[in-house]
Structure 1
Amino acid sequence: MKRKLLGIIDATTYHDDLEELLIHRSLAALPFAGRYRIIDFVLSNMVNSGIRSVAIFPKMQYRSLMDHLGSGKNWDLNRKRDGLFFFPSPVVDSNPNRVGSFDLFAANMDYFYRSTQEYAIISNCYTIINMDYKPILEWHHDMHCDITEIHHRDGRSMEMYLIKTSLLIKLIQSRNETGYTCMRDVVQDMHNEYSICRYDYDGYAVMVDSIASYYDASLNLLKPDVWGNLFVKGQPILTKVKDEPPTKYEKGSLVKNSMIANGCVINGTVENSIISRGVKIGKGAVIKNCIVMQKCQIEEGVHLDTVILDKDVRVEAGTRLSGTAHLPFVVRKGTKQGALMNS
């Protein structure tokens, strides 16, 4: 018997350690790997696992996220039945950084009542992973579990939960009587009445919860084995399609061990870096160990080492910026960096 899954993505999480990159966007919409957003990974996992109904629960700064996902067309979720649903949170302070808040779900109970899928997968929005949920669902069923919590091989909970939709509805409805406010409360209660199972996932997975983890996860993509574990044939990571020309490499430019997205113009040197769409790098500029987001302009003679440039940043000629692997230098979206500012 084919068992169907409902997809639920909690996009309300906010990590203080990522504040510099979350001023104008939600964590789910944080750019990654030059052409993706972080939510693309979990959402693509759901679509690749045959899920055709996905609900996303954002809270604040979700305009960028909604613009990126649109109708869900690029994920084949623009459907007459089921499809992609947005449910912005009316709850401001409910369970910060706890995935699967029952208060959030309670405000949109009609979605759950109308769902025809027998099971639901509840996930965070900030895990970089390529996972097929179908084998986990079969394991969950065969083990007679009420709730399965997915853990990484290092023992850390990935805050992904598999549960019968009917049981999820029951937990939401009874939250005031039980005191359970989210999925974590249920699985951590030693006296609960449910069969709680733990599924250990041994594949590649990174939870982005700080500038350092974001930086590491990004530059690790330059390693062939990591890239091969994330971008798997038959399980594509889908994203918003943008029609842009190929990147232009001018005479005298030099690129080593880097990812360069479409629409860029490269005149300088780029090493061990990730360059997003539409970036312009001037003559004599040297970019090493950096993450450069969309449409940044880097002028002549600039030297950047271990720097994260948010979108639409302009770095003026002759500027030198550097950070460390544990504390990359972050330049906020839409700002200007000049040599005089750093002297």
Structure 2
Amino acid sequence: MPRPKILALILAGGRGSRMEVLTDHRAKSALPYAGVYRLIDFSLSNLRNSGISDVKLLVQYQAQTIMEELANGRPWDLDRTTGGLQIVPPQQRRGDESDEEIVPDGNAAAILDNLDVIQKFAPDVLLVLSSDHVYTFDYFTAIDQHLERNADATVVTTTVPIEEASNFGVCEVNDDSRVTGFSYKPDSPAGNVVTTEIFVYNPAILIDTLEALERDGNEGLGDFGDELMPALIERGHLFACPLDGYWKDMGRPETYFASHMELLADAPELNLDDRAWPILTLEHQRLPARIRDGATISDSLISPGCDISGAVERSVLAPGVVVEEGAVVRNAIVLPDTVIKAGAEVQYAIIDRHVVIGGGAVIGEPLDVDGPSSEDLVLIGQYARIHGNRRIGKGERVPGVDPLQSHG
């Protein structure tokens, strides 16, 4: 049987407003993860490891912050003369004669606005991915099932704690793996089987369905769960394929923080050292981390280029972070090239890149909880300057600044 012609469409246009100050000046897909990676690396690495090489990346909000980390797809062997990674800029809305670029009101709307991209490629199978989730998955697990069942669409699902299900699209799945019901971010979810925002489509049926919804006068198709999923369920050929391993949505500060803390376990569920399924990224070469005399480090990930003279406990430090003598970083995520000055204390915080925490400043508070909520965590935006001896309490936000204005 000849291999199907597959097109992967990565949706990377969203702002990720729930990440607050961390995405004021970058697309969520460009947010660092585990020190040395970015969120976009996971979908691109899974594609590379699955052997899928025709990839279109749809960008919109702060597109340059994603594009500058891609190197034309080279880290994933996608810098090719034919095929490979291609950036799709914001499109003009279908039928719109104006010169204004569109801002899609959801991921289904983004697909509708790029139907010409799909039709020009003419794939046998369309794989649609989000770019802000952390997981490893062989996409052919879903593609093979999709083709065997001659499905209209296949949605990859996972299970979450029932108390978290209202943050996702909740699927009702029968014993035949057919999706029989769907609720998009319901207040009272009936179950805990949710979408991972990994979809496999029959392109012709997807196009027909989207165009029919558009003709029916639906103003703005929104996200996939608003109009598209219910329409596909009504056709009766939407199936679910379970993702059995680690999967985490990075949509909120608390889940971003929790996922980093999970990496500090003795045997983390997400294995980033799997040579058979590597997560690849654009690397900026730096010296190994320098641990100076008197420094103490425990249960932490320390990236290349860090310079540690103080204490680091249960934290993840991205490349180039400096922790001066007498400073303490505890239960925190610190992004690239941030400096924690002498005597400062940081805990239960996410500190963005190129921040300076002044000497003696106290950031965050001790928390008597296993998993802090977003409201418990301190968030400090990029290029912020925190004056010495300043106190920033639990849950406070410090906006970042545009790097072009930070030295003005």
TM (norm. structure 1) is: 0.92
In the alignment, structure 1 residue 144 sits paired with structure 2 residue 150: yes
The one-letter code of the counterpart of 1:158 is T
- Cα distance 1:104–1:230, how it changes in 2: closer, same or farther (>3 A)? farther
Can you list the C-alpha shifts for 1:44-102, whole angstroms capped at 9, x where unaligned? 11111111011111111121110001211111010011011111224544224x45633
Partner of 1:80: 81
Partner of 2:294: 252
Partner of 1:321: 363
Partner of 2:121: 115
Unaligned runs of 5+ in 2: 92-100, 161-192, 393-408
The one-letter code of the counterpart of 1:72 is G
Q: What does 1:1-343 align with in structure 2 at a 5 Å threshold?
A: 1=1, 2-90=3-91, 92-96=102-106, 98=107, 101-106=110-115, 109=116, 111-115=117-121, 117-154=123-160, 155-178=193-216, 181=221, 183-184=224-225, 185-189=227-231, 192-193=234-235, 195-323=237-365, 325-326=372-373, 327-342=376-391
The one-letter code of the counterpart of 1:14 is R
Separation (CA, whole Å) in 1 of partners of 2:158 and 2:272: 15
The one-letter code of the counterpart of 1:113 is Q
The one-letter code of the counterpart of 2:78 is L
Aligned-pair Cα RMSD in Å:
2.1
Can you list the C-alpha shifts for 1:233-253, whole angstroms capped at 9, x where unaligned? 311111002111111111111
Unaligned runs of 5+ in 1: none
Q: 1:119, CA displacement in angstroms?
A: 0.8
The one-letter code of the counterpart of 2:377 is P
Separation (CA, whole Å) in 2 of partners of 1:257 and 1:334: 27
Is the contact made by 1:250 and 1:266 (CA closer than 8 Å) also made in structure 2? yes
Is the contact made by 2:319 and 2:335 (CA closer than 8 Å) also made in structure 1? yes
The one-letter code of the counterpart of 1:338 is H
Separation (CA, whole Å) in 2 of partners of 1:117 and 1:297: 48
The one-letter code of the counterpart of 1:37 is R
Is the contact made by 2:358 and 2:389 (CA closer than 8 Å) also made in structure 1? no
The one-letter code of the counterpart of 1:289 is N
Separation (CA, whole Å) in 2 of partners of 1:92 and 1:198: 32
Give the % identical residues: 25
Is the contact made by 1:105 and 1:172 (CA closer than 8 Å) also made in structure 2? no
Aligned length, in residue pairs: 339
Is the contact made by 2:12 and 2:131 (CA closer than 8 Å) also made in structure 1? yes
Is the contact made by 1:204 and 1:230 (CA closer than 8 Å) also made in structure 2? no
Q: What SS does the corresponding residue of 2:329 show, helix, strand or coil?
A: strand
Separation (CA, whole Å) in 2 of partners of 1:318 and 1:89: 46
Is the contact made by 2:288 and 2:306 (CA closer than 8 Å) also made in structure 1? yes
Partner of 2:182: none
Separation (CA, whole Å) in 1 of partners of 2:322 and 2:209: 52
Is the contact made by 2:308 and 2:324 (CA closer than 8 Å) also made in structure 1? yes
TM (norm. structure 2) is: 0.78
Is the contact made by 1:101 and 1:183 (CA closer than 8 Å) also made in structure 2? no
- Cα distance 1:335–1:191, how it changes in 2: closer, same or farther (>3 A)? closer
Is the contact made by 2:16 and 2:27 (CA closer than 8 Å) also made in structure 1? no
